[in-house]
Amino acid sequence: MIVAGDRVGVAVSGGADSIALLRILDEIREKLAIRLSIVHFDHQLRGEESERDAQFVSDLAQALNLDIVIERRDVAAEAKRNRWNLEDAARRLRYAFFERVLDDGHVSRIAVAHTADDQAETVLSHLIRGTGPTGLAAIYPLAGTNSGTIVRPLLPFRRNDLRAYLRGIAQTWCEDSTNRDPRRMRARIRSQLLPVLERDFSRSIVDRLCELARLSREEETFWSTFVEERYRALARTGAQGASIRVADLLDPVWRGEKAPPSKKTTERFVFNAASRPLTERLIRRLYEEVRGSCHGLGANHVEQVIRLATRSSSGTSVELPGGIVAERVFDDLHFSAKETASSARAKSETVSARIAYQYMVALPGHVASQTTISVPEAGSRFCLKLIDWADSERETTDDSQTFDADSLRAPLILRNWRPGDAYTPCGGRQPRKLKQMLLAARVPARDRREWPVLESAGAVIWARGMPVSSAVRTRETTRVAVRIAEERL
C-alpha cells in the first residue's frame, strides 16, 4: 500500500479511527521513509460540530508539525441540486476532493481509516438493500482512479482495538453525533444489528463478513478481467455509442478467431443460459461505456436488455437509467445516449424533407479523366471516371457500378436519400423503393438519412452499395462509360 518515498495524505475527520491511523503512521513514518500530511473534508452537515472537528484536526496538524489541506462544501445543497441521497452525496464529494488533492500533486497516496467493523457494516448494508456478488465485495483495500492511490491500511483491525490504542497514548478524538442517529441505517446496523449478531449468533461475525467480502473481491477481480477481455473481443465502440452482435451477447464464451454461426429460431436468437452471468456483465459493461458508470442500472434493467436481444425485432428499443437507450438494429444491439438515439431516429425516413446535402456533378471532359466530389456529411468522396468501354476488359469490370455515358442527362446531382426514392436496379424488372432495398441490405434506420444517392435529370439512377439503374446501365452499344467509386474521407 505504501512504499518508501511516498507522500501520504491521511484523511482525518477527527473521529477515533482516522486519528488512530494518523498517529500510527506518524509513529512509523521514518521507518517507512514517507512524508505525511493531513487532508480534511468539511461536509458542513453538523453546524458547530463540523467547525469543531475542523479546528481539532487543524490543531493536531500543528502539534505534529504536518501540512494540512482543508476543503469545505455544502453537501446538503449539492445533494438537493443533484437529487442524491445525503450519504451518497457526502461520499461523492469527499472522494472527488481526494482525487483533486492527488491530481494537484500534494500527495501520491491518500490513506483512509476504514476498519473491519466498517467492512462488516457495509456488507450487511448491501445485503439489506439488495445486492449481487459485486456488492458483497464491499470496501476494497486499494482504490482510486489510478488503482492504489486510495489505501486503507486499517481494514484488518477492529474499532475497539484502535480506541484502546488511542487511550494508551492519551490521544483524544471527536465523536460524530450522526453515528448515533437511529434514522441512518448504518447507525442502526452499528448500534443494534451487529451487537445482536455477535452476542446471539457468532462472536466471529465481523471476521466472517470480512472474509466473505475478501472472497467476493477475488471473484470480482476474475470477472472484471474476463469481461474486459470478452468486451474488447466482441464489442464495437464509437462516437455514437457501443454495439455488439446479439449472437455474441447471448453466447459470448466462444474463443475462436471467428464467431460461430448465429443460432436463430424464427428470427430469434438462442440464449445460452449457461453464459447468463457473462451476458449480464457484458450488458453492464456496454452501459458503462456509454454512461461512464453503472450507477442506477438494476437487475430488472439488465433483464429488459436480454428480452430485447432474444424476443424483439429490429428498431425496438428500451430506455435505461441515466438517459441511455439500448436498441436492436437487425442482428446488433446498440447502446447510446438518449439524445444521440433521438437524433438518429429524427434523421430516419419518416422525418423532415430538409435537405441534408446536395452537390452538382460535372462529368469529366475526356476519357481517363475523373471528377471528385467530397461529401463530409457521408464521410466519403466519390470519384466519377470516364472510361473507354469498348477497350475495357469486360470480364474484370464491375458493370453494376458503371453507367452508359450517353444515357446520363443533366443535371447530375449527388444528394442524400429521401423518402419515396425509387428506381429499377440493373437486372430487375420493376421499380423498387430505395427504402426496401436499404432494408434488404440491412442498413440501420439511423444511417439512411445521409445515404448517398445519384440522380440524373430528376430520376434516381444509383445509391451507395446498390446496382445502377437499368435505364442507364452499360450495353453492347456503349462506347464511353462512367464508373463511380467511393473512398472514405
Same domain, 148 and 18: yes
> Which one-letter amino acid corresponds to residue 463?
A
How far apart CA 91 and CA 71 sit, in angstroms, is: 14
Number of C-alpha atoms within 13 angstroms, CB side, residue 377? 18
Same domain, 318 and 458: no
Which grid coordinates are listed for 99? 482525487
Q: Which residues contact 111 (CB under 8 A, 6 or more apart)?
A: 1, 2, 8, 9, 10, 11, 21, 25, 151, 152, 153
96 occurs within a structural domain = yes
Structural domain total, the chain? 3
166 occurs within a structural domain = yes
Residue with cell 457521408: 378
Same domain, 48 and 170: yes
Q: Last residue of some domain: 346, 377, 401? A: 346
Q: Is 280 exposed, middle or buried (0-12, 13-18, 19+ CB in 10 A)?
A: middle
Same domain, 177 and 72: yes
Q: Are 208 and 116 in contact (CB under 8 A)?
A: no
How far apart CA 366 and CA 385 sit, in angstroms, is: 9
Q: Which runs of consecutive H residues, i.e. helices, occur in 292-415?
A: 299-311, 338-346
> Which one-letter amino acid corresponds to residue 289?
E
Same domain, 177 and 285: no
Which grid coordinates are listed for 22? 494518523
For residues 78, 83, 84, 86, the Cα torsion angle rounded to the nearest 10 degrees is: 60
Q: pLDDT tens, position by position, for the chain (489 residues)?
A: 999 999 999 999 999 999 999 999 999 999 999 999 999 999 988 888 899 999 999 999 999 999 999 999 999 999 899 888 888 899 999 999 999 999 998 899 999 999 999 999 999 999 999 888 889 999 999 987 666 799 999 999 999 999 999 999 999 999 988 888 888 899 999 999 999 999 999 999 999 999 999 999 999 999 999 999 999 999 998 878 999 999 999 989 865 445 555 555 545 677 878 889 999 999 999 999 999 888 889 889 999 999 999 888 888 899 999 999 999 988 889 999 877 555 555 444 444 444 578 898 888 777 778 889 998 888 889 999 999 887 665 545 567 899 999 999 888 999 998 888 999 998 888 899 998 898 888 787 777 888 999 999 889 999 999 999 999 999 888 989 999 999 987
281 occurs within a structural domain = yes
Domain residues for the domain of 18 are: 7-208
Same domain, 390 and 297: no
How far apart CA 289 and CA 237 sit, in angstroms, is: 8
Which residue, 189, 195, 133, is CA-closest to 160? 195
Same domain, 410 and 482: yes
Same domain, 23 and 148: yes
Which residue, 54, 52, 21, 276, is CA-closest to 150? 21
Same domain, 271 and 374: no
Same domain, 258 and 377: no
Q: Record the pTM.
A: 0.67
How far apart CA 433 and CA 236 sit, in angstroms, is: 31
Same domain, 368 and 337: no
408 occurs within a structural domain = yes
171 occurs within a structural domain = yes
CATH number of the domain to which 296 belongs: 3.30.465.60
CATH number of the domain to which 76 belongs: 3.40.50.620
399 occurs within a structural domain = yes
Q: Are 39 and 101 in contact (CB under 8 A)?
A: yes
Which residue, 177, 217, 209, is CA-closest to 193? 209
How far apart CA 151 and CA 8 sit, in angstroms, is: 10
